[in-house]
Amino acid sequence: MAEKKFERRTSLDPAVADLLSGMEQRQAESQLPRKERERLGRERAKIQSRREQRATYDLPPALREEIRVMSEDLRIPASQLVTLALARFMNDYNSGTIDLGKYKQPSRSPRYDWNLVFPDDLIRMKKKKG
Amino acid sequence: MKIFAFANQKGGVGKTTTAVTLADGLARMKVKTLLVDLDPQGHLALSFGLEKSPGLYRLICLDEPLEKVAVRISANLDLLPGDKQTEKVKRQIAISDFREAILADILHEADYDAVLLDMAPSLDVLHINGLIAADWVVIPTRPDALALDGVKEILTTMAEINQNGHRYRGYSILPTFFDRTTRETFLQFQELAKTFGEHLWPPIPQDTRVRETVAYGKTLWDYSPNSVSMNGYKDGKQRLGGYKQVLARMLEVING
Ligand SMILES: Nc1ncnc2c1ncn2[C@@H]1O[C@H](COP(=O)(O)OP(=O)(O)O)[C@@H](O)[C@H]1O
Ligand SMILES: [Mg+2]
């Protein structure tokens, strides 16, 4: 409740507003009974550990769509399908069954030396759509 | 060119630390910066591992050119040091014509992108000179029960100066010695936000590294660039407060 007061204030520096609402939340929590406080603490820890599992990559839209459809068909979370796919890829890569060489092209970016360029038929949905 | 004054009539609120850290930060961003010691204690020189010297005295009382009395600290950072002789500067200014704008006149002709004035905790002619020269006044303040009073005192002085025909200057309030876990800090921070809105900059956390830094004659950028006073508090992916964030706010003032 106290939190809202500062959300409405549009004229605060954004970092000040974020810090204030965090501190307000903590202060409000410190007034709660111990059991309640511990529950909130556990919840926060859960959210925090979730955050560490999260990753952001760019994927071709077709591939992303394919994963979404598969997830719905099989009724399995997309994250788990992607985890399995990546884990198998890492196994293949580490055992030498996958050769990146055939996809590699020199990159001109200062950050990377190589780009992987994929043949059209590798990402299947693209064909279906196009 | 933008001139910043770091002012608060109270001592020990982090004026000198803030001026040093932000000046060195600006210089590292390739902003040509002059740091001026207006405090007879002459602490700025010590912050860079140098001896105190009468730079301000030579500039104003002996009429030596700024280029000659400024000390080169690094590629983009010069220091105009001070010492006990700064007291004589006050006497000289007090008997001069146009006495309120002496510093402004000298600094406005200087070849810098940013000038930072480290002010003494006193309300005298030199203090007034600093405020008049400034385009932007930064008010470091500890989040304690007297914080609001200290800030209001400076704002009152600034308002008086404006009334005497000097142009309007902007200002920001910078909470220092911030401890986000204490109720006292929380209440004062809330009060400052309510009273000053967007004038309130993100705070500088209390950090034992800060005190150590001076003893080594280094700035935080060299001694402890990733300490909490520099990086602020971690909040998920973002950082809140700390000198790096405040430096970004300062660059907005310089470029805006
Ligand atoms: N964020 C901080 N955390 C801990 N100590 C600090 C902090 N900022 C400044 N200090 C220490 O507090 C003392 C006073 O700071 P200083 O910058 O000299 O204040 P002022 O110039 O306003 O008198 C110094 O010893 C300094 O090292
Ligand atoms: Mg000082």
Residue A6 has pLDDT above 50, yes or no: no
Residue of chain B whose Cα is closest to the Cα of A51 = B236
| Residue B202 near residue A15 (C-beta atoms within 8 A) | yes
- pTM: predicted TM-score of the whole model, two decimal places: 0.77
Residue B249 has pLDDT above 50, yes or no: yes
User: What's the pLDDT score for residue B219?
Assistant: 96
* Cβ <8 Å between A11 and B198: yes
Encoded amino acid at B103, one letter: L
Residue A71 has pLDDT above 90, yes or no: yes
Residue B50 has pLDDT above 90, yes or no: yes
- Average pLDDT of every residue of chain A: 85
User: What's the pLDDT score for residue A7?
Assistant: 46
> Where along chain B do its domains lie?
2-255
Residue B236 has pLDDT above 90, yes or no: no
User: What's the pLDDT score for residue A127?
Assistant: 45
Which residue from B9, B17, B36, B212 has its CB within 8 A of the most atoms of ligand 1, so it is best to mutate?
B17
Instruction: Give me the interface pTM, i.e. the ipTM.
Output: 0.92
CA distance B18 to chain A (A): 18
**Distance in angstroms (rounded) separating the CA atoms of residues B133 and B56:** 15
**Distance in angstroms (rounded) separating the CA atoms of residues B166 and B49:** 37
Q: Which atom of ligand 1 is nearest to the CA of B19?
A: 17
Residue B82: partners with Cβ closer than 8 Å, 6 or more residues away: B36, B37, B38, B39, B40, B41, B42, B44, B45, B52, B53, B54, B55, B56, B57
Residue A2 has pLDDT above 60, yes or no: no
Q: pLDDT tens across B69-122, in order?
A: 999 999 999 999 999 999 999 999 999 887 889 999 999 999 999 999 999 998
Q: Which region holds residue B242: left if phi is over 0, alpha if psi is between -120 and 50, else beta?
A: left
> Tokens standing for B254?
């310089």
Q: What is the DSSP letter of A111?
A: S
> Tokens standing for B64?
């030596």
How many CA atoms lie less than 13 Å away from B254 in the CB half-sphere? Answer: 24
Q: pLDDT tens across A99-130, in order?
A: 899 999 999 887 889 999 988 888 765 444 43
Least confidently predicted of A4-13, B25-34, B244-253: A4-13
Q: How many CB atoms lie within 10 A of CB A114?
A: 13
- Average pLDDT of every residue of chain B: 95
User: What's the pLDDT score for residue B155?
Assistant: 93
Locate tokens 């459809």: which residue? A69
Of A12, A18, A27, the CB nearest to B235: A18
User: What's the pLDDT score for residue B28?
Assistant: 97
CATH class for the region spanning B2-255? alpha beta
User: What's the pLDDT score for residue A8?
Assistant: 44
B136-141 β-sheet, strand order: B71-74, B77-80, B33-37, B114-118, B2-6, B136-141, B170-175
- pLDDT category at A50 given cuts 50, 70, 90 is confident
- Top pLDDT among B201 and B97 is at B201
- pLDDT category at A9 given cuts 50, 70, 90 is very low
Residue B141 has pLDDT above 80, yes or no: yes
| Residue B136 near residue B145 (C-beta atoms within 8 A) | no
Give the 3-state secondary structure of residue B40: coil
Span from the CA of B228 to the centroid of ligand 1 (angstroms): 14
**Distance in angstroms (rounded) separating the CA atoms of residues B102 and B106:** 7
Q: pLDDT tens across A26-43, in order?
A: 888 888 888 988 898 898
